[in-house]
Chain A
Amino acid sequence: MKDEPRVLQISPIRNGTVIDHITAGEALNVLKILGITGTTDECLSIATNVVSEKSGRKDVVKISDRELCTEEVDRIALIAPQATINIIRDYLVCEKMGVEIPKVLLGVVRCPNRGCISNTNEPIKSRFEVTKRGLHCLYCDWYLTEDIPGHII
Protein backbone atom coordinates (compact mmCIF):
# COMPACT_ATOMS: atom_id res chain seq x y z
CA MET A 1 0.00 0.00 0.00
CA LYS A 2 2.73 2.44 1.04
CA ASP A 3 4.77 1.91 -2.10
CA GLU A 4 1.92 2.37 -4.52
CA PRO A 5 2.09 6.14 -5.09
CA ARG A 6 5.83 5.97 -5.79
CA VAL A 7 5.29 3.39 -8.51
CA LEU A 8 2.82 5.71 -10.16
CA GLN A 9 5.06 8.72 -9.82
CA ILE A 10 8.11 7.14 -11.38
CA SER A 11 7.45 4.62 -14.07
CA PRO A 12 10.35 2.52 -15.34
CA ILE A 13 12.18 3.52 -18.50
CA ARG A 14 13.63 1.26 -21.16
CA ASN A 15 16.81 3.14 -21.99
CA GLY A 16 18.27 6.22 -20.43
CA THR A 17 19.38 7.63 -17.12
CA VAL A 18 17.86 7.72 -13.67
CA ILE A 19 19.24 10.35 -11.35
CA ASP A 20 18.21 9.38 -7.84
CA HIS A 21 18.78 10.88 -4.38
CA ILE A 22 18.88 14.45 -5.73
CA THR A 23 18.77 16.97 -2.89
CA ALA A 24 15.05 17.73 -2.40
CA GLY A 25 14.07 20.77 -4.43
CA GLU A 26 17.00 20.61 -6.85
CA ALA A 27 15.39 18.50 -9.61
CA LEU A 28 14.58 21.51 -11.75
CA ASN A 29 18.13 22.81 -11.39
CA VAL A 30 19.42 19.42 -12.46
CA LEU A 31 17.29 19.68 -15.59
CA LYS A 32 18.56 23.17 -16.22
CA ILE A 33 22.14 21.92 -15.99
CA LEU A 34 21.35 19.23 -18.53
CA GLY A 35 19.91 21.82 -20.88
CA ILE A 36 16.46 20.29 -20.66
CA THR A 37 13.66 22.83 -20.96
CA GLY A 38 9.99 22.77 -21.92
CA THR A 39 10.94 23.06 -25.57
CA THR A 40 13.38 20.16 -25.80
CA ASP A 41 11.91 16.76 -26.67
CA GLU A 42 13.27 14.32 -24.07
CA CYS A 43 10.77 11.99 -22.46
CA LEU A 44 11.01 12.82 -18.76
CA SER A 45 9.71 11.75 -15.40
CA ILE A 46 10.30 14.02 -12.48
CA ALA A 47 9.42 13.36 -8.89
CA THR A 48 10.07 15.93 -6.23
CA ASN A 49 9.97 15.61 -2.45
CA VAL A 50 9.70 11.84 -2.57
CA VAL A 51 9.84 10.30 0.88
CA SER A 52 13.07 8.36 1.26
CA GLU A 53 14.13 6.28 4.25
CA LYS A 54 17.72 7.38 3.73
CA SER A 55 17.52 11.13 3.38
CA GLY A 56 14.04 12.19 4.40
CA ARG A 57 13.05 13.73 1.11
CA LYS A 58 14.65 13.54 -2.28
CA ASP A 59 14.02 14.31 -5.92
CA VAL A 60 14.28 11.82 -8.75
CA VAL A 61 14.67 12.48 -12.47
CA LYS A 62 14.38 9.90 -15.23
CA ILE A 63 15.42 10.75 -18.75
CA SER A 64 14.71 8.39 -21.62
CA ASP A 65 17.25 7.72 -24.33
CA ARG A 66 20.00 9.85 -22.91
CA GLU A 67 23.23 9.00 -21.08
CA LEU A 68 25.21 11.67 -19.27
CA CYS A 69 28.71 12.84 -20.07
CA THR A 70 31.38 13.62 -17.45
CA GLU A 71 30.86 17.38 -17.53
CA GLU A 72 27.16 16.93 -16.89
CA VAL A 73 27.86 14.62 -13.96
CA ASP A 74 30.30 17.21 -12.56
CA ARG A 75 27.66 19.91 -12.71
CA ILE A 76 25.12 17.72 -10.92
CA ALA A 77 27.69 16.98 -8.24
CA LEU A 78 27.90 20.69 -7.45
CA ILE A 79 24.22 21.01 -6.56
CA ALA A 80 23.38 17.48 -5.47
CA PRO A 81 26.46 15.81 -4.05
CA GLN A 82 24.49 12.74 -2.78
CA ALA A 83 22.92 11.99 -6.14
CA THR A 84 23.33 8.58 -7.72
CA ILE A 85 23.21 7.99 -11.44
CA ASN A 86 21.90 4.77 -12.95
CA ILE A 87 22.31 4.10 -16.63
CA ILE A 88 19.42 1.95 -17.85
CA ARG A 89 19.65 -0.26 -20.91
CA ASP A 90 16.66 -2.46 -21.78
CA TYR A 91 15.03 -1.87 -18.38
CA LEU A 92 18.17 -3.03 -16.54
CA VAL A 93 20.50 -0.93 -14.46
CA CYS A 94 23.80 -1.56 -16.20
CA GLU A 95 25.86 1.18 -14.60
CA LYS A 96 25.40 2.71 -11.19
CA MET A 97 27.56 5.57 -10.06
CA GLY A 98 27.70 8.15 -7.36
CA VAL A 99 28.62 11.66 -8.24
CA GLU A 100 31.83 13.12 -6.95
CA ILE A 101 32.93 16.72 -7.08
CA PRO A 102 36.13 16.64 -9.10
CA LYS A 103 39.29 18.54 -8.13
CA VAL A 104 39.09 20.78 -11.17
CA LEU A 105 35.93 21.91 -12.96
CA LEU A 106 36.46 22.61 -16.65
CA GLY A 107 33.83 24.66 -18.45
CA VAL A 108 31.24 24.04 -15.73
CA VAL A 109 31.02 27.33 -13.86
CA ARG A 110 31.22 30.94 -15.04
CA CYS A 111 33.67 33.19 -13.18
CA PRO A 112 31.86 35.95 -11.23
CA ASN A 113 34.74 38.36 -11.90
CA ARG A 114 33.81 40.47 -14.89
CA GLY A 115 37.45 41.36 -15.39
CA CYS A 116 38.45 37.70 -15.75
CA ILE A 117 39.96 36.60 -19.06
CA SER A 118 37.73 33.49 -18.96
CA ASN A 119 34.71 35.77 -19.52
CA THR A 120 35.95 36.94 -22.92
CA ASN A 121 35.84 35.29 -26.33
CA GLU A 122 39.19 33.57 -25.87
CA PRO A 123 39.35 29.91 -26.94
CA ILE A 124 39.45 28.54 -23.38
CA LYS A 125 37.05 26.89 -20.94
CA SER A 126 36.60 28.31 -17.46
CA ARG A 127 38.74 26.40 -14.98
CA PHE A 128 38.02 26.19 -11.24
CA GLU A 129 39.80 24.32 -8.53
CA VAL A 130 37.46 22.96 -5.85
CA THR A 131 38.72 24.05 -2.43
CA LYS A 132 37.21 24.06 1.03
CA ARG A 133 36.86 27.84 0.75
CA GLY A 134 34.89 27.66 -2.46
CA LEU A 135 35.59 27.40 -6.16
CA HIS A 136 38.90 29.03 -7.04
CA CYS A 137 39.27 30.47 -10.56
CA LEU A 138 42.58 29.26 -11.95
CA TYR A 139 42.76 32.24 -14.29
CA CYS A 140 42.02 35.28 -12.15
CA ASP A 141 42.40 33.85 -8.62
CA TRP A 142 38.88 34.76 -7.47
CA TYR A 143 36.86 32.61 -5.12
CA LEU A 144 33.26 31.75 -5.86
CA THR A 145 31.67 31.07 -2.50
CA GLU A 146 27.98 31.91 -2.90
CA ASP A 147 25.19 30.89 -5.26
CA ILE A 148 27.23 28.27 -7.05
CA PRO A 149 24.16 26.87 -8.92
CA GLY A 150 23.55 30.38 -10.28
CA HIS A 151 26.98 30.38 -11.89
CA ILE A 152 26.75 27.01 -13.56
CA ILE A 153 27.12 27.46 -17.32
Chain B
Amino acid sequence: MRQHIISIKEFEKKEIDALLDRAETIDQGNYDPKALEDKILGVLFFEPSTRTRMSFEAAMARLGGASIDMGGVEVSSVVKGETLADTIRVVSGYADAIVLRHPKEGAAQLASEFASVPVLNAGDGAGQHPSQTLIDLYTIRQAMPLEGIDVGLLGDLRYGRTAHSLAYALTQYDVTIHTLAPEGLEMPPNVVEELRERGVEIVVHDEIGEFTRALDVMYVTRIQRERFPDSASYYAVASSYRVTPELLTQAKEQMIVLHPLPRVDEIDSRVDALPHAKYFQQARNGVPIRMALLLEVMG
Protein backbone atom coordinates (compact mmCIF):
# COMPACT_ATOMS: atom_id res chain seq x y z
CA MET B 1 0.00 0.00 0.00
CA ARG B 2 1.21 3.45 -0.90
CA GLN B 3 0.55 6.47 1.19
CA HIS B 4 0.59 9.28 -1.33
CA ILE B 5 0.06 9.36 -5.09
CA ILE B 6 2.23 12.26 -6.23
CA SER B 7 4.15 11.36 -9.39
CA ILE B 8 4.02 8.47 -11.84
CA LYS B 9 7.83 8.42 -11.70
CA GLU B 10 7.75 6.92 -8.23
CA PHE B 11 5.83 3.84 -9.41
CA GLU B 12 7.54 0.62 -10.31
CA LYS B 13 6.19 -1.44 -13.16
CA LYS B 14 4.70 -4.10 -10.94
CA GLU B 15 2.84 -1.45 -8.96
CA ILE B 16 1.43 0.08 -12.13
CA ASP B 17 0.39 -3.34 -13.39
CA ALA B 18 -1.28 -4.15 -10.07
CA LEU B 19 -3.26 -0.89 -10.16
CA LEU B 20 -4.35 -1.51 -13.74
CA ASP B 21 -5.40 -5.07 -12.81
CA ARG B 22 -7.39 -3.73 -9.89
CA ALA B 23 -9.11 -1.14 -12.11
CA GLU B 24 -9.97 -3.91 -14.55
CA THR B 25 -11.57 -5.99 -11.80
CA ILE B 26 -13.54 -2.94 -10.66
CA ASP B 27 -14.56 -2.28 -14.25
CA GLN B 28 -16.06 -5.77 -14.41
CA GLY B 29 -18.26 -4.88 -11.44
CA ASN B 30 -16.24 -6.79 -8.87
CA TYR B 31 -15.89 -4.38 -5.98
CA ASP B 32 -17.47 -3.69 -2.62
CA PRO B 33 -19.77 -0.66 -2.99
CA LYS B 34 -19.40 -0.06 0.77
CA ALA B 35 -15.59 -0.36 0.81
CA LEU B 36 -15.10 3.30 1.77
CA GLU B 37 -18.44 3.75 3.57
CA ASP B 38 -16.96 5.50 6.58
CA LYS B 39 -14.42 7.58 4.65
CA ILE B 40 -14.38 11.21 3.58
CA LEU B 41 -12.38 12.58 0.65
CA GLY B 42 -11.30 16.22 0.85
CA VAL B 43 -11.50 17.66 -2.66
CA LEU B 44 -9.17 20.65 -2.94
CA PHE B 45 -9.23 22.17 -6.40
CA PHE B 46 -7.34 25.45 -6.59
CA GLU B 47 -8.05 25.70 -10.29
CA PRO B 48 -11.07 24.41 -12.17
CA SER B 49 -10.98 20.99 -13.77
CA THR B 50 -14.55 19.81 -13.80
CA ARG B 51 -14.03 16.36 -15.28
CA THR B 52 -11.12 15.32 -13.09
CA ARG B 53 -13.05 16.52 -10.08
CA MET B 54 -16.28 14.76 -11.09
CA SER B 55 -14.52 11.51 -11.80
CA PHE B 56 -12.85 11.51 -8.36
CA GLU B 57 -16.20 12.30 -6.74
CA ALA B 58 -17.94 9.61 -8.78
CA ALA B 59 -15.23 7.09 -7.82
CA MET B 60 -15.64 7.97 -4.14
CA ALA B 61 -19.45 7.71 -4.34
CA ARG B 62 -19.27 4.30 -6.05
CA LEU B 63 -17.23 3.01 -3.13
CA GLY B 64 -19.77 4.33 -0.63
CA GLY B 65 -17.64 7.26 0.56
CA ALA B 66 -18.40 10.95 0.86
CA SER B 67 -16.62 13.99 -0.60
CA ILE B 68 -16.24 17.44 0.89
CA ASP B 69 -14.84 20.48 -0.91
CA MET B 70 -13.84 24.01 -0.11
CA GLY B 71 -16.29 25.74 -2.42
CA GLY B 72 -14.92 27.95 -5.18
CA VAL B 73 -11.41 29.24 -4.72
CA GLU B 74 -12.81 32.78 -4.79
CA VAL B 75 -14.85 32.24 -1.61
CA SER B 76 -12.31 30.21 0.32
CA SER B 77 -9.47 31.22 2.59
CA VAL B 78 -7.13 31.24 -0.41
CA VAL B 79 -8.17 34.82 -1.12
CA LYS B 80 -7.27 35.66 2.45
CA GLY B 81 -3.71 34.56 1.67
CA GLU B 82 -3.57 31.33 3.63
CA THR B 83 -0.68 29.11 2.60
CA LEU B 84 -1.32 25.74 0.97
CA ALA B 85 0.59 24.16 3.86
CA ASP B 86 -1.95 25.55 6.35
CA THR B 87 -4.96 24.55 4.25
CA ILE B 88 -3.60 21.02 4.01
CA ARG B 89 -2.96 20.79 7.77
CA VAL B 90 -6.53 21.93 8.46
CA VAL B 91 -8.22 19.66 5.91
CA SER B 92 -6.15 16.70 7.18
CA GLY B 93 -8.28 17.02 10.32
CA TYR B 94 -11.53 16.76 8.37
CA ALA B 95 -10.90 14.12 5.73
CA ASP B 96 -9.34 10.64 5.37
CA ALA B 97 -7.57 11.54 2.13
CA ILE B 98 -7.05 14.68 0.06
CA VAL B 99 -7.22 15.02 -3.70
CA LEU B 100 -5.38 18.16 -4.80
CA ARG B 101 -5.40 20.17 -7.99
CA HIS B 102 -3.17 23.22 -7.90
CA PRO B 103 -1.68 25.65 -10.43
CA LYS B 104 1.85 25.51 -8.94
CA GLU B 105 4.26 22.72 -9.84
CA GLY B 106 5.33 20.71 -6.84
CA ALA B 107 2.18 21.62 -4.87
CA ALA B 108 1.28 17.96 -4.34
CA GLN B 109 4.78 17.18 -3.05
CA LEU B 110 4.48 20.07 -0.60
CA ALA B 111 0.99 18.91 0.43
CA SER B 112 2.28 15.42 1.17
CA GLU B 113 4.85 16.92 3.55
CA PHE B 114 2.19 18.72 5.60
CA ALA B 115 -0.70 16.27 5.40
CA SER B 116 -1.40 13.65 8.03
CA VAL B 117 -3.63 11.78 5.55
CA PRO B 118 -2.83 10.47 2.03
CA VAL B 119 -2.58 13.02 -0.78
CA LEU B 120 -3.60 12.23 -4.36
CA ASN B 121 -2.23 14.55 -7.01
CA ALA B 122 -4.90 15.53 -9.53
CA GLY B 123 -2.54 17.77 -11.48
CA ASP B 124 -0.12 20.45 -10.32
CA GLY B 125 0.71 23.20 -12.78
CA ALA B 126 2.67 21.85 -15.71
CA GLY B 127 3.90 19.10 -13.40
CA GLN B 128 2.55 15.69 -12.58
CA HIS B 129 -0.87 14.17 -13.15
CA PRO B 130 -0.40 10.50 -12.24
CA SER B 131 -4.05 9.39 -12.35
CA GLN B 132 -4.35 10.66 -15.94
CA THR B 133 -1.31 8.60 -16.91
CA LEU B 134 -2.77 5.47 -15.35
CA ILE B 135 -5.96 6.10 -17.33
CA ASP B 136 -3.89 6.41 -20.52
CA LEU B 137 -2.02 3.17 -19.83
CA TYR B 138 -5.24 1.38 -18.94
CA THR B 139 -6.89 2.48 -22.18
CA ILE B 140 -3.92 1.30 -24.23
CA ARG B 141 -3.91 -2.02 -22.39
CA GLN B 142 -7.59 -2.54 -23.20
CA ALA B 143 -6.65 -2.45 -26.89
CA MET B 144 -3.24 -4.15 -26.97
CA PRO B 145 -0.41 -5.41 -24.75
CA LEU B 146 1.76 -2.62 -23.36
CA GLU B 147 4.92 -4.35 -24.56
CA GLY B 148 6.56 -4.03 -27.94
CA ILE B 149 4.45 -1.17 -29.28
CA ASP B 150 5.09 2.18 -30.97
CA VAL B 151 3.51 5.12 -29.16
CA GLY B 152 3.39 8.55 -30.80
CA LEU B 153 3.06 11.80 -28.89
CA LEU B 154 1.62 14.63 -30.99
CA GLY B 155 1.08 18.31 -30.25
CA ASP B 156 2.42 20.54 -27.50
CA LEU B 157 5.16 18.37 -26.04
CA ARG B 158 6.86 21.24 -24.30
CA TYR B 159 4.15 22.23 -21.83
CA GLY B 160 1.91 19.19 -22.18
CA ARG B 161 2.33 17.47 -18.85
CA THR B 162 0.17 14.48 -19.73
CA ALA B 163 2.51 13.59 -22.58
CA HIS B 164 5.60 13.79 -20.32
CA SER B 165 3.96 11.74 -17.63
CA LEU B 166 2.86 9.07 -20.10
CA ALA B 167 6.33 8.96 -21.63
CA TYR B 168 7.94 8.41 -18.22
CA ALA B 169 5.52 5.61 -17.44
CA LEU B 170 6.13 3.97 -20.82
CA THR B 171 9.86 3.74 -20.09
CA GLN B 172 8.93 0.84 -17.80
CA TYR B 173 7.68 -1.12 -20.79
CA ASP B 174 9.37 -2.16 -24.00
CA VAL B 175 7.98 0.68 -26.07
CA THR B 176 9.32 2.97 -28.78
CA ILE B 177 8.25 6.58 -28.36
CA HIS B 178 7.71 8.75 -31.44
CA THR B 179 7.31 12.51 -31.15
CA LEU B 180 5.96 15.20 -33.44
CA ALA B 181 5.64 18.77 -32.22
CA PRO B 182 5.50 22.25 -33.75
CA GLU B 183 8.68 24.28 -33.66
CA GLY B 184 9.17 25.72 -30.19
CA LEU B 185 6.85 23.18 -28.59
CA GLU B 186 9.21 20.20 -28.80
CA MET B 187 9.80 18.01 -25.79
CA PRO B 188 12.33 19.73 -23.46
CA PRO B 189 15.89 18.31 -23.90
CA ASN B 190 16.06 17.39 -20.21
CA VAL B 191 12.97 15.26 -20.52
CA VAL B 192 14.25 13.57 -23.69
CA GLU B 193 17.61 12.89 -22.06
CA GLU B 194 16.01 11.43 -18.95
CA LEU B 195 13.72 9.23 -21.02
CA ARG B 196 16.68 7.93 -23.03
CA GLU B 197 18.61 7.29 -19.84
CA ARG B 198 15.69 5.18 -18.69
CA GLY B 199 16.34 3.06 -21.74
CA VAL B 200 13.55 4.04 -24.12
CA GLU B 201 14.05 4.62 -27.83
CA ILE B 202 12.77 8.02 -29.00
CA VAL B 203 12.18 8.77 -32.66
CA VAL B 204 11.67 12.44 -33.50
CA HIS B 205 9.50 13.10 -36.57
CA ASP B 206 8.84 16.20 -38.59
CA GLU B 207 6.19 14.90 -40.93
CA ILE B 208 2.74 13.78 -39.79
CA GLY B 209 2.19 11.10 -42.45
CA GLU B 210 5.38 9.22 -41.62
CA PHE B 211 4.61 9.64 -37.92
CA THR B 212 1.09 8.24 -38.32
CA ARG B 213 2.23 5.19 -40.28
CA ALA B 214 4.70 4.18 -37.56
CA LEU B 215 2.25 3.99 -34.68
CA ASP B 216 0.15 1.58 -32.66
CA VAL B 217 -1.02 4.39 -30.38
CA MET B 218 -1.35 8.07 -31.24
CA TYR B 219 -1.54 10.33 -28.19
CA VAL B 220 -2.77 13.78 -29.16
CA THR B 221 -2.44 16.83 -26.91
CA ARG B 222 -3.87 20.28 -27.27
CA ILE B 223 -1.84 23.08 -28.82
CA GLN B 224 -2.76 26.19 -26.91
CA ARG B 225 -3.43 29.32 -28.84
CA GLU B 226 -1.76 31.50 -26.26
CA ARG B 227 1.61 29.91 -27.10
CA PHE B 228 1.56 31.74 -30.44
CA PRO B 229 2.07 35.45 -31.14
CA ASP B 230 -1.06 35.77 -33.30
CA SER B 231 -4.00 33.68 -34.43
CA ALA B 232 -2.73 33.34 -38.01
CA SER B 233 0.43 31.54 -36.91
CA TYR B 234 -1.62 29.40 -34.52
CA TYR B 235 -4.01 28.29 -37.28
CA ALA B 236 -1.13 27.57 -39.65
CA VAL B 237 0.44 25.22 -37.10
CA ALA B 238 -2.80 23.74 -35.77
CA SER B 239 -4.03 22.75 -39.21
CA SER B 240 -0.87 20.82 -40.06
CA TYR B 241 -1.08 18.87 -36.78
CA ARG B 242 -4.76 18.05 -37.13
CA VAL B 243 -5.93 14.44 -36.99
CA THR B 244 -8.45 13.77 -39.76
CA PRO B 245 -10.05 10.66 -41.30
CA GLU B 246 -7.92 11.32 -44.41
CA LEU B 247 -4.72 11.19 -42.36
CA LEU B 248 -5.85 8.04 -40.59
CA THR B 249 -6.25 6.14 -43.87
CA GLN B 250 -2.45 5.82 -43.63
CA ALA B 251 -2.56 4.37 -40.10
CA LYS B 252 -2.34 0.73 -39.10
CA GLU B 253 -5.78 -0.81 -38.86
CA GLN B 254 -5.50 -1.45 -35.11
CA MET B 255 -4.00 1.93 -34.28
CA ILE B 256 -5.82 3.82 -31.51
CA VAL B 257 -6.11 7.57 -30.99
CA LEU B 258 -6.07 8.94 -27.45
CA HIS B 259 -6.52 12.48 -26.13
CA PRO B 260 -6.74 13.58 -22.48
CA LEU B 261 -9.66 15.90 -23.39
CA PRO B 262 -11.03 18.49 -23.64
CA ARG B 263 -10.08 18.84 -27.28
CA VAL B 264 -10.59 21.96 -29.33
CA ASP B 265 -9.98 21.17 -32.96
CA GLU B 266 -6.86 19.04 -32.99
CA ILE B 267 -9.03 16.00 -33.77
CA ASP B 268 -11.63 16.32 -36.50
CA SER B 269 -15.04 15.31 -35.12
CA ARG B 270 -15.45 12.92 -38.07
CA VAL B 271 -12.73 10.80 -36.44
CA ASP B 272 -15.11 10.07 -33.53
CA ALA B 273 -17.00 7.50 -35.59
CA LEU B 274 -13.86 5.58 -36.60
CA PRO B 275 -12.73 2.49 -34.67
CA HIS B 276 -9.40 4.27 -34.02
CA ALA B 277 -11.08 6.79 -31.70
CA LYS B 278 -10.67 5.73 -28.07
CA TYR B 279 -10.71 9.10 -26.29
CA PHE B 280 -14.25 8.86 -24.93
CA GLN B 281 -13.50 5.36 -23.68
CA GLN B 282 -10.37 6.87 -22.12
CA ALA B 283 -12.46 9.53 -20.31
CA ARG B 284 -14.86 6.87 -19.03
CA ASN B 285 -11.88 4.90 -17.66
CA GLY B 286 -11.25 7.74 -15.21
CA VAL B 287 -13.71 6.29 -12.73
CA PRO B 288 -12.35 2.72 -12.33
CA ILE B 289 -8.76 4.01 -12.22
CA ARG B 290 -9.62 6.55 -9.53
CA MET B 291 -11.56 3.91 -7.60
CA ALA B 292 -8.44 1.75 -7.66
CA LEU B 293 -6.35 4.69 -6.41
CA LEU B 294 -8.78 5.58 -3.62
CA LEU B 295 -8.81 1.95 -2.48
CA GLU B 296 -5.00 1.95 -2.65
CA VAL B 297 -4.65 4.83 -0.18
CA MET B 298 -7.76 4.34 2.01
CA GLY B 299 -8.93 0.75 1.55
Binding site for B on A (CB under 8 A): 113, 115-118, 120-124, 133, 137-143, 145
CA A124 – CA B105 in complex, angstroms?
14
B190–A124 contact, CB under 8 A?
A: no
User: Given that A115-B125, A124-B113, A143-B190 are contacting pairs, would A137 and B83 also be in contact in the complex, using a CB cutoff of 8 Å?
Assistant: no
Instruction: Tell whether B61 is near chain A: CB-to-CB under 8 Å.
Output: no
How many residues in B have their beta carbons less than 8 Å from beta carbons of A?
A: 21
List CB contacts (< 8 Å) of B193-208 with chain A.
Answer: 193-194
Q: How far is the CB of B171 from chain A (nearest CB, A)?
A: 15
Query: Which B residue sits closest to A119, measured CB to CB?
Result: B104
B110–A124 contact, CB under 8 A?
A: yes
Instruction: Tell whether B73 is near chain A: CB-to-CB under 8 Å.
Output: no
List CB contacts (< 8 Å) of B122-142 with chain A.
Answer: 124-128
Please list the 10 inter-chain residue pairs (A to B) with the smallest Cβ-Cβ separation, ordered nearest first: A139-B106, A140-B105, A117-B106, A140-B106, A117-B104, A143-B190, A115-B125, A117-B107, A115-B105, A117-B110
A140–B125 contact, CB under 8 A?
A: yes
A141–B105 contact, CB under 8 A?
A: yes
Instruction: Tell whether B84 is near chain A: CB-to-CB under 8 Å.
Output: yes
Instruction: Tell whether B85 is near chain A: CB-to-CB under 8 Å.
Output: yes
Instruction: Tell whether B109 is near chain A: CB-to-CB under 8 Å.
Output: yes
A116–B104 contact, CB under 8 A?
A: yes
Query: Which A residue sits closest to B86, measured CB to CB?
Result: A123
User: Given that A133-B190, A139-B105 are contacting pairs, would A122 and B125 also be in contact in the complex, using a CB cutoff of 8 Å?
Assistant: no
* Chain A residues, CB < 8 A from B194: 133
CA A124 – CA B104 in complex, angstroms?
14
Contact with B83, one of A121, A133, A143, A145 (Cβ below 8 angstroms)? A121
Q: How far is the CB of B62 from chain A (nearest CB, A)?
A: 32
CA A120 – CA B124 in complex, angstroms?
14
Q: How far is the CB of A1 from chain B (nearest CB, A)?
A: 53
* Chain A residues, CB < 8 A from B107: 117
User: Given that A117-B84, A133-B193 are contacting pairs, would A122 and B105 also be in contact in the complex, using a CB cutoff of 8 Å?
Assistant: no
* Chain B residues, CB < 8 A from A124: 85, 110, 113
A122–B85 contact, CB under 8 A?
A: yes
A117–B190 contact, CB under 8 A?
A: no
A sample of 19 inter-chain contacts (CB < 8 A) reads: A113-B105, A116-B106, A117-B104, A117-B106, A117-B124, A120-B84, A123-B83, A124-B85, A124-B110, A124-B113, A133-B194, A139-B110, A140-B104, A140-B105, A140-B127, A141-B7, A141-B105, A141-B106, A142-B190
CA A64 – CA B293 in complex, angstroms?
58
Apart from the given pairs A117-B105, A123-B85, 15 other A-B contacts in the complex at a CB distance below 8 Å: A116-B106, A118-B106, A121-B83, A122-B84, A122-B85, A124-B110, A124-B113, A138-B106, A138-B109, A139-B106, A140-B105, A140-B106, A141-B7, A141-B105, A142-B105
User: Given that A115-B103, A116-B105, A117-B109 are contacting pairs, would A141 and B127 also be in contact in the complex, using a CB cutoff of 8 Å?
Assistant: yes
Query: Which A residue sits closest to B110, measured CB to CB?
Result: A117
Query: Which B residue sits closest to A131, measured CB to CB?
Result: B194
Q: How far is the CB of B47 from chain A (nearest CB, A)?
A: 12
Query: Which B residue sits closest to A141, measured CB to CB?
Result: B127
Q: Per-position contact with A for B81-119: 1 when CB-CB < 8 Å, else 0?
A: 001110000000000000000111111011001000000
From A113, A117, A123, name the one whose CB has the most chain B CB atoms within 10 angstroms. A117
CA A146 – CA B114 in complex, angstroms?
31
User: Given that A124-B113, A138-B109 are contacting pairs, would A115 and B126 also be in contact in the complex, using a CB cutoff of 8 Å?
Assistant: yes
